[in-house]
Chains A and B, each alone.
Chain A
Amino acid sequence: MRVNVTVNGRPMTADDVWEGESLLYVLRERLGLPGAKNACEQGECGSCTVYLDGTPVCACLVAAGQAEGREVVTVEGLAVPDGGSDGELGGGLDEVQRAFVDAGAVQCGFCTPGLVVQAHALLAGSDGVPPDADIREALAGNLCRCTGYEKILDAVRLAAARRAESGSRA
């Protein structure tokens, strides 16, 4: 079947989609967007977290056909398009991505895209720096097997503090 979906602001079409296929598979294998990661395929790990109509979800649990006509934002869509092209990290990064780099919250990097999207959603709905309990709750469905999470929490606090300082909200 054919699936029409807006991804990162661009209308896209995937053909020959199997009816039991997930949105994650469509994004990665048919639309060339490998940012969302495929790991557990059962909603346990959060590595495939994307926005679906503005709400963070596990793309592996969305049937491709359920995304028909809807808007998806992946980690690739968070970076600011004209934020700079200096070739260095941080050129066009969203402030959550920037904070993950600055705080050393990335080790192998596999869980990072899902954590970035989920943290982005948390901060979009928060004023100031959320309490640690809220951060932990928001990230409870994103597994990281490298970091022990402390640097990830640092990164979320850093992004939130910077955002509060600049007076902006996501």
Chain B
Amino acid sequence: MDFLRPTAWPDALAMKAERPEATPIQGGTDVMVEINLDKGRPAALLDLTAIPELRDWSREGGEIRVGAGVTYSRLIAELGTELPGLAQASRTVGSPQIRNRGTVAGNLGAASPAGDSHPPLLAGGAVVEAESVRGTRLIPIGEFYTGVKRNALAPDELIRAVRVPAATGPQYFSKIGTRNAMVIAVCSFAVALDPGGRRVGAGIGSAAPTPRHAPQAEDFASERLDWDGQGPLDPGVARRFGELVAASAAPIDDVRGRAAYRTHALAVMARRALGWAWDDLRGSA
């Protein structure tokens, strides 16, 4: 095995072009588990932790550009206002030690259907900034996940950053697990309200081969919410929203939960999360 340790981003891209089989490693919270437990042995590790520019985030217009090396801990501490849904999801990742190392870009690279950051990225309309020596490619989040632990990155591409629109309204993340820490989601859900655009974003985790949008639920709620009057949330709308979210899922039975349970739980989480978000919106008006 080779250990590649670029200290500048262009060098990392050159190495990835030369060694497309190299596995990028950031916090190591997925990659090292594979190696430690002998589940897989990469031909080479491409360590990205020595590249300073990856560790920064910036505000660019209405977008937050989160560098690939920004840890969950920093996201929680620094971006709770701009990216509340993603920050909430980050708080549920692993333990403090894991959040001190793990990154959203690592979650994207691993592309596990259960990754905690995926639902809020979907709900918030994120874009993955992929880069190679050939140039930069902006991949809408809904096109990024291509299968179980598979993503749309080309072999020579690395994730430079993820661009997430700064919240324009309330956002919520909800996750089912057996305890309040160190939990891989049984299923998860995120909602984001954009009152200006009168749009609702809804992202589903751990209930299909990939994280995915719930487009029918998004369209339904966007149309039916009382954006002008901002009256109390119609319980029928909330319930139907939950049903449509659940209908967008394609869960399986596995060790963490049964498909029927996941479907039921998603409907409940979606109904509640929409209620929390709508109440916040009314409260802030």
Contact = CB atoms under 8 A, between A and B. Distances in A.
Interface string B14-51: 00000000000101110111011100011011010110
A141 B45 CA distance: 26
Nearest to A3: B3
B1 A141 contact: no
Chain B interface size band reads 20 to 34
B181 A56 contact: no
A57 B97 contact: yes
Contacts of B47: 63, 65-66
Interface residues of A, number: 29
A15 interface: no
A27 to B, nearest CB: 14
Contact of B101 (A1, A41, A46, A62): A62
Interface in A41-74: 41-44, 46, 49, 55-58, 60-63, 65-66, 68
A136 B50 CA distance: 32
A141 B94 CA distance: 7
Contacts of B137: none
Given A63-B45, A63-B47, A65-B3, A55 B182 contact: no
A60 B27 CA distance: 11
22 contacts: A18-B1, A19-B1, A20-B41, A41-B33, A41-B37, A42-B36, A49-B97, A57-B97, A58-B101, A60-B32, A60-B36, A61-B98, A63-B3, A63-B31, A63-B32, A66-B49, A68-B5, A68-B50, A140-B182, A141-B94, A141-B95, A141-B96
Contacts of B254: none
Interface of B: 1-3, 5, 25, 27-29, 31-33, 35-37, 41-42, 44-45, 47, 49-50, 73, 94-98, 100-101, 180-182
A113 to B, nearest CB: 13
A164 interface: no
A58 B5 contact: no
A138 interface: yes
A40 B116 CA distance: 22
Interface in A4-56: 18-20, 22, 41-44, 46, 49, 55-56
A65 B7 CA distance: 13
A137 interface: yes
Nearest to A48: B97
A61 B181 contact: no
A63 B30 CA distance: 12
Contacts of A46: 95, 97
B74 to A, nearest CB: 10
B134 to A, nearest CB: 27
B37 to A, nearest CB: 6
A62 B32 contact: yes
